[in-house]
Amino acid sequence: MSIVAFHRVLITAAIAFCAFFSAWEFGHYRRDDDGSGVVLALVFAVLAVGFGIYLVLLDRFLGRKSSS
């Protein structure tokens, strides 16, 4: 497995973690009506989207031709 392929796996894991944690915190916000829960949910949702964009554009960042 190349370093780039392993990096893709780690980015995918980060996306999954951020999305799960965002949903978890949003659930806590809905249950407890605590403002910090919605802030964390939004921050981690933005992080998940950011990591997703990074994953899609990784070949461009590395200066390689896209495989798709």
- Please choose, from the candidates 26, 2, 22, 25, the residue with its C-alpha nearest in 3D space to the C-alpha of residue 14: 22
User: 43: closest CA among 63, 66, 24, 64?
Assistant: 24
If you average pLDDT over residues 13-29, what whole number do you get? 96
CB contact set of 68 (below 8 Å; sequence gap of 6+): none
**Averaged pLDDT, 35-45:** 94
Q: How far, in Å, are 18, 27, 36, 65 from residue 61 at the CA level?
A: 22, 35, 34, 10
Question: What angle, 0 to 180 degrees and rounded to 10, lies between the N-to-C axes of helices 3-32 and 35-56?
Answer: 160
Per-residue pLDDT at 33: 86
User: Would the pLDDT of 68 be above 70?
Assistant: no
